[in-house]
């Protein structure tokens, strides 16, 4: 059974870089059948897609965050990562990694999801 686990610092200072890693077990991120993505959820609020990556290295970003985000993958470790630069308090959220199904060569819905990790931006 596929499992995803987020890891990284729970506290980041304003203006610094948020770095998270998603470790995938029970499946390979090198599979051509899936994409891999990040979604966040500020406390008490809704879901926001951040970024998506394919095993080929193709990346897609939410236009509202594109200037501050990098998604990458390490197939040797079966992990993919997120870096969000110049964070502010507005970036405080639970960050989820998730697998995208593929349909007609494009990423579609998210399933399954990791349990999520809370990242707080505060000095």
Partner 1 sequence: EIVLTQSPGTLSLSPGERATLSCRASQSVTSNYLAWYQQKPGQAPRLLIYGASSRATDIPDRFSGSGSGTDFTLTISRLEPEDFAVYYCQQYGDSPRFTFGPGTKVDIQ
Give contact residues for partner 1 (rule: CB under 8 A). Answer: 46-49, 52, 60, 62-63, 96, 98, 101, 103, 106-116
Task: State the nearest-atom distance from the C-beta of 30 to partner 1, in Å.
Answer: 19
| List of E strands, 1-89 | 3-7, 11-12, 18-25, 34-41, 48-53, 59-61, 69-74, 79-84
Task: State the nearest-atom distance from the C-beta of 34 to partner 1, in Å.
Answer: 13
- Sign of the Cα pseudo-torsion (31, 35, 41, 47, in order): negative
Task: State the nearest-atom distance from the C-beta of 13 to partner 1, in Å.
Answer: 26
Half-sphere exposure of 23 (CA within 13 A, CB side): 5
The smaller minimum CB distance to partner 1, of residues 16 and 62, is found at 62
The smaller minimum CB distance to partner 1, of residues 60 and 85, is found at 60
The smaller minimum CB distance to partner 1, of residues 15 and 118, is found at 118
CA nearest 117: which of 85, 84, 92, 88? Answer: 92
The smaller minimum CB distance to partner 1, of residues 18 and 98, is found at 98
Task: State the nearest-atom distance from the C-beta of 4 to partner 1, in Å.
Answer: 9
Q: How far is the C-alpha of 42 from the C-alpha of 81, rounded, in Å?
A: 19
């Amino acid at each position: 059974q596929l499992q995803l686990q987020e890891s990284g610092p729970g506290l980041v200072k304003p203006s610094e870089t948020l770095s998270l890693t998603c470790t995938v077990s029970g499946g390979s991120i090198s599979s051509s059948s899936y994409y891999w993505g990040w979604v966040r959820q500020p406390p008490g609020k809704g879901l926001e897609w951040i970024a998506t990556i394919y095993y080929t290295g193709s990346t897609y970003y939410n236009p509202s965050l594109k200037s501050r985000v990098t998604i990458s993958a390490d197939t040797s470790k079966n992990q993919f990562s997120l870096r969000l630069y110049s964070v502010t308090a507005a970036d405080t959220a639970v960050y989820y990694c998730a697998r995208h199904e593929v349909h007609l060569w494009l990423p579609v819905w998210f399933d399954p999801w990791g349990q999520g990790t809370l990242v707080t931006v505060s000095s």
